[in-house]
Amino acid sequence: MWQFFLRRLLLMIPIFFVLSVIIFSLIHIVPGNPLDNLMGPGMTKAYEQEMVKKYNLDKPLPVQYLKWLNNMLHGDLGSSIIEKRPVTELLLHHLPYSLSLGLTAIALSFVQGVSMGIISAAAKNTIFDHLAMMIALFGVTIPAFWLGLIFILIFAVWLNWLPVSGSGTLSSLILPAVTVALGGAGLIARVTRVAMLEVASKDFIVMLHAKGLGKKAILLKHVLRNALIPVITILGLRIGWVLGGAVTVEIVFSRPGLGQLLISALFRRDYPVIQGAMLLLAMGIILGTFLADMLYAFADPRVRDQTH
């Protein structure tokens, strides 16, 4: 297990470097001089000199990248062109809102998706199965931002149960979290259903039936436990999708998370902030995949033995 853990931990490093190169290139791929992109309106010649010095724009590209990387590893991602504050400070300010939304949504979508999957696998080809799969299909197909708007209309405007937007209280977290979770839940429900049906047809399950074990016990104890393995993998791979869905949902609910920071930076062409936010989201995805790998190995000993 430790060897597996270390191997996966080390694998994160090259992936991180590739992503950092892509994100670093951003400012140089954009048409025009990077200096134009770094300059806001009404900026002086002195500021231009400072920018050239700060981003080493007079040096060759690989040198620029290494300096950027060095600064980044020391926690310096440059400063926002518009807000004139360090990017790290901005990120740390917005991160908690995204983190709380993302984690709640992942937990919710797991619980909802797995229970829907169990119901439709247990009641295969009945009306419950069709209904659950229909909800799952809608969850996957409805864009998160539209669902969020409809939820605001129903629960905040017409029923007046929950706040329209905001970020301070727990009740303001409910609507955005449910919105983000529904998409993930649809996917998880579909994967759970297929995996459970597959496991249920295995010989050892047939044997448990033959031994006279109750249907419920078999389903929840033996089938589900084995079926959860692919579900965990999907969850890890799709953590990025949850974060991505959260971007638009944050806009809809005016939640000051990373998504909102990123979008407003995109509009103002505030490249240091775009780079920083992208980097942080990419790191979140890498970390999510790593955690899912660990869970996977923990749940299924065959995985960690294979890689020895």
Partner 1 sequence: MENTTNQNQIIPPANRWIRRLKKLKNNRAGVLGLIIIAGLIITALFADYIAPYSYKAQDLSLMNIPPSMDHIMGTDEFGRDVFSRIILGSRISVYVGVVSVGLSVLIGSLLGALAGYYEGWLDRVLSTVTDLTWSLPEILVALLLVAVVGAGVECVIIAIALTYWAQYARLIRGQILMLKNEIYVEATRSLGATDFTILFKHLFPNAIAPVIVAATIGIGQAIVLEATLGFLGMGAQPPLPSWGAMMSNGTAYLFISPWVIIFPGLAMMITVFGFNLFGDVLVDIMDIREDTLK
Q: Give the footprint of partner 1 on this chain (CB under 8 A).
A: 15, 18-19, 26, 29-30, 137-138, 140-143, 145-146, 149-150, 152-153, 157, 194, 237, 240-241, 243-245, 247-248, 251-252, 262-263, 266-267, 269, 274, 278, 281-282, 285, 289
Q: Which is nearer to partner 1, 122 or 274 (CB)?
A: 274
Least separation, in Å, of the C-beta of 224 and partner 1? 20
d(CA 84, CA 51): 12
d(CA 97, CA 140): 24
Q: Which is nearer to partner 1, 142 or 229 (CB)?
A: 142
Q: How many CB atoms lie within 10 A of CB 139?
A: 24
DSSP assignment string, 22-85: HHHHHHHHSSS-HHHHH--TT--HHHHHHHHHHTTTTS-HHHHHHHHHHHHHTT---B-TTT-S
Least separation, in Å, of the C-beta of 53 and partner 1? 25
Q: Nearest CA to 23 among 235, 251, 265, 237?
A: 265
The owner of tokens 């970390």 is 287
**Helix segments in 123-253, DSSP class H:** 127-141, 144-151, 171-200, 203-210, 215-217, 224-237, 239-252
Q: Which is nearer to partner 1, 64 or 289 (CB)?
A: 289
44 φ, ψ (degrees, to nearest 5): -85, 170
Least separation, in Å, of the C-beta of 244 and partner 1? 3
Q: How many CB atoms lie within 10 A of CB 108?
A: 18
Strand, helix or coil at 86?
strand
Q: Which is nearer to partner 1, 82 or 251 (CB)?
A: 251
Q: Which is nearer to partner 1, 43 or 266 (CB)?
A: 266
Q: Which is nearer to partner 1, 208 or 261 (CB)?
A: 261
Structure token digits, residue 231: 């579900």
Q: Nearest CA to 250 among 187, 184, 177, 183?
A: 177
Q: Nearest CA to 104 among 186, 188, 173?
A: 173
Least separation, in Å, of the C-beta of 49 and partner 1? 26
Q: Which is nearer to partner 1, 118 or 247 (CB)?
A: 247
Least separation, in Å, of the C-beta of 215 and partner 1? 26
Q: Which is nearer to partner 1, 29 or 210 (CB)?
A: 29
Strand, helix or coil at 17?
helix
Least separation, in Å, of the C-beta of 187 and partner 1? 12
